[in-house]
Amino acid sequence: MRNMLKGKLASNFFAAILLGALLAAAGCGSGNTGLGSTTPPPTGTNSNSFDWGAPFFYGRNVYTSIDGSSAANAPYWAYTQSSIAAAAGNVVAVTVDGGPFIASQNSVYVNGVFATVTVCVPGTSNCQNIDHVLVDTGSYGLRLLAVAGGGEFALTLPQQVGNDSNPINECTQFVDGFIWGPVLTADIKISGESASSVPIQVVGNSTFTAPAGCTAGGGTDESNAAGLGANGILGIGPFPQDCGSACTSANGSTPIEGTYYDCSTSGCVAAFESLAAQVQNPVTLFAADNNGTILELPGVSGAAASVNGVLVFGIDTKSNNALGTTPILGINTTGSFPGDFTTNYNGNSLTGSFIDSGSNALFFDNSSISVCADNTSFYCPSGIQLSQSATQVGANGTTSVVNFNVNNADALINGNPNATAFNGFAGPN
């Protein structure tokens, strides 16, 4: 995921009653926090990333092919104009509807793309449907929020254990925080596709305290409804595992902190985790249609109360998932930015760029665009709408010019109090 995910406070959506609370909260930090405050912007804000978030998906079919799979030239992203596939065994409905906690948390998850996933005790028909799982091309693996943490997951699944039979727990890092919980094994069913005995992560009911090596990256523990904003995350990005060789014994003699841990009553210690034991992109374990996905969302004109689309499994495996002549944008598999390509924007070459349905806006730095006064995660160009252009450069050398609009987020939100999907949302990295 791009980690984080989240939406924005409900306050703006729920009118006057909550508005006072929001202003109070914002006021606390008005002197020295966000970019929208009175603090002058720093002279340089050039990160090396362009995050092509959910608004990029509106009106497109976006292909994500998985590294090492049967898809030719994998891994890559590719996209065409949107056309929504009909219901089929390799198609599952997705929706942008504000997320699961609109009522209980008074918050709307803006531009969050959600699907329902079924998890089962391996080899049994003891299953549970989990709705509002965030569809995320920026991460790898299924993560579910337990009831105790405010989510839905309530099954008892087999605990993965290390060589010493101790339970394995995982620290999953996001940009501004982390989630923490055990690695369990589940059968996963989505539409007509299924995968058996898949390592997944469950958060929100952990027996063990997150170790210092997990919290050292900073940020907050997001293993809760307010932190995740979803009942789970379905990571279907271009890699099969959430860590890869860096977490295995092939990487050296000392396990890396901040990933997998072997836990006992005396605490949790960093542990090696084999590729097969790591939390897996479940798509790769489907019997068929396992080489990638296509996320198909209709166009959004300005703002919409909800958006309905589909997630198609497989690339060139069925008549409904042909790549055809669609140009592919190759993805780095090694180097400093695995999973990324380059975006040339505003005179900068942003080598850590990615296409991420789990980000709820396009995120890039441009200090000439004003940050919103109310919704400080987003841009508010003075002209209401600003036309921009960028060039994506794949690891395979393919280039693609993308013209896009940056909309004034405050104006769109305030003008559309019931909307959950917003086109043209962008914000600083």
Of 85 and 295, the one with the shorter C-beta distance to another protein is 295
Angle at 376 between CA 136 and CA 57, to 5 degrees: 30
Should residue 139 be labelled a site residue for another protein when binding is judged by CB under 8 A?
yes
Helix (H) or strand (E) holding 16: helix 15-28
- The contact mask relative to another protein for 392-421 (x = CB under 8 A, - = no) is ------------------------------
Q: Following DSSP, what letter does each residue of 243-266 receive, concatenated?
A: SGGGGSGGG-SSPPTTSEEEEETT
The single residue among 80, 131, 176, 205 that binds another protein, judged by CB under 8 A, is 176
Least separation in angstroms between residue 420's CB and another protein is 14
Should residue 363 be labelled a site residue for another protein when binding is judged by CB under 8 A?
yes
Of 1 and 202, the one with the shorter C-beta distance to another protein is 1
Of 75 and 162, the one with the shorter C-beta distance to another protein is 75
- Cβ–Cβ under 8 Å, residues 76 and 67: no
The single residue among 14, 18, 48, 205 that binds another protein, judged by CB under 8 A, is 48
The single residue among 184, 356, 357, 406 that binds another protein, judged by CB under 8 A, is 356
Footprint (CB under 8 A) of another protein, residues 307-346: 336-340
The Cα 259–Cα 213 span in angstroms is 9
Of 63 and 178, the one with the shorter C-beta distance to another protein is 178
Angle at 10 between CA 355 and CA 427, to 5 degrees: 35
Footprint (CB under 8 A) of another protein, residues 246-275: 246, 251-252, 254, 256-259
Of 116 and 348, the one with the shorter C-beta distance to another protein is 348
Of 83 and 220, the one with the shorter C-beta distance to another protein is 220
Least separation in angstroms between residue 74's CB and another protein is 16
Footprint (CB under 8 A) of another protein, residues 8-47: 8-9, 25-26, 28-29, 32-35, 37, 39, 41-47
Should residue 234 be labelled a site residue for another protein when binding is judged by CB under 8 A?
no
φ/ψ of 218, rounded to 5, equals: 85, 175
Quick one: 100 exposed, middle or buried, by C-beta within 10 A (0-12, 13-18, 19+)? Answer: buried
The single residue among 55, 199, 394, 428 that binds another protein, judged by CB under 8 A, is 428
The Cα 62–Cα 126 span in angstroms is 34
> What is the DSSP secondary structure assignment for residue 384, as one 8-state letter?
S
> Cα 158 from chain centroid?
26
> What is the DSSP secondary structure assignment for residue 153, as one 8-state letter?
B
Question: Between the CA of residue 66 and those of 69, 330, 337, what are the distances in Å?
Answer: 6, 11, 16
Least separation in angstroms between residue 15's CB and another protein is 18
Least separation in angstroms between residue 387's CB and another protein is 22
The single residue among 150, 151, 237, 314 that binds another protein, judged by CB under 8 A, is 237
Which residue carries 């166009």 as its tokens? 299
- Cβ–Cβ under 8 Å, residues 284 and 236: no
The single residue among 64, 90, 172, 191 that binds another protein, judged by CB under 8 A, is 172
- Cβ–Cβ under 8 Å, residues 377 and 71: no
Of 363 and 422, the one with the shorter C-beta distance to another protein is 363
> How many chain residues touch another protein (CB under 8 A)?
80
Should residue 354 be labelled a site residue for another protein when binding is judged by CB under 8 A?
yes
The single residue among 173, 344, 370, 416 that binds another protein, judged by CB under 8 A, is 173
Should residue 368 be labelled a site residue for another protein when binding is judged by CB under 8 A?
no
Footprint (CB under 8 A) of another protein, residues 188-227: 213, 216-220, 226
The Cα 405–Cα 389 span in angstroms is 8
Of 80 and 429, the one with the shorter C-beta distance to another protein is 429
Should residue 278 be labelled a site residue for another protein when binding is judged by CB under 8 A?
no
Should residue 242 be labelled a site residue for another protein when binding is judged by CB under 8 A?
yes
> What is the DSSP secondary structure assignment for residue 169, as one 8-state letter?
E
Number of H helices, E strands in the chain: 4, 27
User: What residues have CB less than 8 Å from 353, skipping those under 6 apart?
Assistant: 49, 50, 51, 52, 340, 341, 342, 343, 392
Instruction: Please say whether the dihedral angle defined by the alpha carbons of residues 134, 136, 142 and 146, taken in this order, is positive or negative.
Output: negative
Of 127 and 256, the one with the shorter C-beta distance to another protein is 256
Closest CA to 2 of 186, 254, 177: 177
Least separation in angstroms between residue 176's CB and another protein is 4
Should residue 68 be labelled a site residue for another protein when binding is judged by CB under 8 A?
no
Beta-carbon-side half-sphere exposure of residue 49 (alpha carbons within 13 Å): 19
The single residue among 359, 392, 420, 423 that binds another protein, judged by CB under 8 A, is 359
